[in-house]
Amino acid sequence: MKVDAIVLGAGIVGVSVALQLKRRGLSVALVDRKAPGNETSFGNAGLIQREGVYPYAFPRDWASLARYASNRATDVRYHPAAMPKLLPFLYRYWHHSRADRHAAIARAYSTLIEHCVTEHRTLIEEAGARSLLRTGGWMKVFRTSRALDAAIADARRWEAEYGVHHEALDGTALRAAEPALRPVLIGAVRYPSSDSVSDPNGLVTAYARLFERLGGRILIGDASTLAPSWHVETQEGPVDADSAVIALGPWSNDATRRLGYALPLAAKRGYHMHYAARDGARLNQPVLDAEAGYLITPMVRGIRLTTGVELGYRDAPKTPVQLEAVEPLARGVFPLGERVDAEPWLGSRPCTPDMLPIIGPGTKHRNLWFAFGHAHHGLTLGPITGRLLAEMMTGTPTIADPTPFRADRF
């Protein structure tokens, strides 16, 4: 098989790249070891975060560092055995998280974030996936006035800098918006300009079906067989292409390392579990318990509880201690019933130390392109990443300046 482009990786980013290339008239083969949307894209919170102009930074205050060092925090846990290998990455992450550096990163990041909702809505309409879309935003809820006041101050700053609207809710307004939440919560910050979806895997699948309807090919294959220029083995035989895109999420550095690149990529692991809702309780939107570090959101399968960050080796066995720690807290906030899933789901978020994704050409090969490292915002940034990279690959004017996301910044 001969195509214009091979896209390796059928998560939200890879599917979006393949779809945007196909919409521009290229012949494209989308290659993965699994069906679309069945790795990291399967287990996220379903948020399309228009407010997320400041990517999640590493804490720099001593109180937070001491709390995380104890390895008992509910929002961040780590595997001690993995720390020697992860410390150089974490130091660089901490370095880039200084307030002035973080602000500069946000200025670059915002050029992608500002298009996340509109690009998703365009593809959702074309894919016939409107039933999965939930408009009207999501909220962070708080247990103490100190944390609530700090979140409101951040939201006001983000609105002043980037025009991201927010709503501050006191306890009465919070209970009106979400009657099933318990009064242990005193208030919330709501971001109405963001969207969410009720089935992230279903959304990726809908985008993949649109890609196929436009004439794209989805193939089961082995990314480790990628060879210049450009060839990959699949179950339907070898595929040759003029260009190749690596969009393998947390496995991207396996492919880039084989080609001679040394790009810093680490994995933030996370878990989810679905629950029934007791006594007819209803949750209307995603809710982040900001001080406890978990999120609950209504999904097709039930109420999904997602955890914060687990730092460890990407492929280490499951250690869902965070889920066990936050489940009682979540039950104290919302009337969760029995578990729906047989076991917790585990996924890995691909992260760079400067919190910016890697989008653009490889520096050692002609017609090799990268699209990975989106950390917590893979679902949010999938379609805009696909559009930006497709514009770069086809030589057309780009919707945003790609310079901050280039691979050679490292």
202 band by pLDDT with thresholds 50, 70 and 90? very high
Q: What is the pLDDT of residue 80?
A: 97
* Distance, CA of 223 to CA of 233 (rounded, Å): 8
* Paired strand residues for 287: 139, 296
* Paired strand residues for 76: 309
For the chain, what is the mean pLDDT? 97
Q: How many CA atoms lie within 13 A of 328 on its CB side?
A: 4
Do the beta carbons of residue 29 and residue 217 sit within 8 Å?
yes
Task: Return the structure tokens found at 316.
Answer: 């280490």
CB atoms within 10 A of CB 304: 27
* Distance, CA of 124 to CA of 133 (rounded, Å): 8
CATH topology of domain 62-79+139-194+266-349: D-Amino Acid Oxidase; Chain A, domain 2 (3.30.9)
β-strand pairing of 287-289 with 138-142: parallel
Report whether CATH 3.40.830.10 matches the domain 2-45+116-132+200-264+353-409.
Answer: no
pLDDT digits (tens, 9 = 90+) for 290-300: 999 999 999 99
Would you state the torsion angle of the CA atoms of residues 215, 124, 377, 141, taken in this order, to the nearest 10 degrees?
A: -160
* Distance, CA of 118 to CA of 112 (rounded, Å): 11
Q: What is the mean pLDDT of residues 392-397?
A: 98
Q: Is 369 exposed, middle or buried (0-12, 13-18, 19+ CB in 10 A)?
A: buried
Q: What is the pLDDT of residue 374?
A: 98
* Distance, CA of 121 to CA of 409 (rounded, Å): 31
- Residue 266: name the closest of 154, 345, 350 by CA: 350
Domain range list for the chain? 2-45+116-132+200-264+353-409, 62-79+139-194+266-349
Least confident of 4-18, 32-46, 176-190: 32-46
Name residue 256's amino acid. T
β-strand pairing of 2-8 with 28-32: parallel
Do the beta carbons of residue 346 and residue 320 sit within 8 Å?
yes
Residues in the chain: 410
* Distance, CA of 397 to CA of 317 (rounded, Å): 44
pLDDT digits (tens, 9 = 90+) for 316-346: 999 999 999 999 999 999 999 999 999 999 9
pLDDT digits (tens, 9 = 90+) for 235-276: 999 999 999 999 999 999 999 999 999 999 999 999 999 999
Q: What is the mean pLDDT of residues 47-60?
A: 96
pLDDT digits (tens, 9 = 90+) for 259-268: 999 999 999 9
Listing DSSP states for 196-207 in one string gives EES-HHHHHHHH
Q: What is the mean pLDDT of residues 8-21?
A: 98
Q: What is the pLDDT of residue 224?
A: 96
Same topology between domain 2-45+116-132+200-264+353-409 and domain 62-79+139-194+266-349 = no
> Percent of the chain beyond pLDDT 70?
100
Q: What is the pLDDT of residue 333?
A: 97
Task: Return the structure tokens found at 75.
Answer: 């929002």
Q: What is the mean pLDDT of residues 63-91?
A: 95
Task: Return the structure tokens found at 71.
Answer: 């390895």
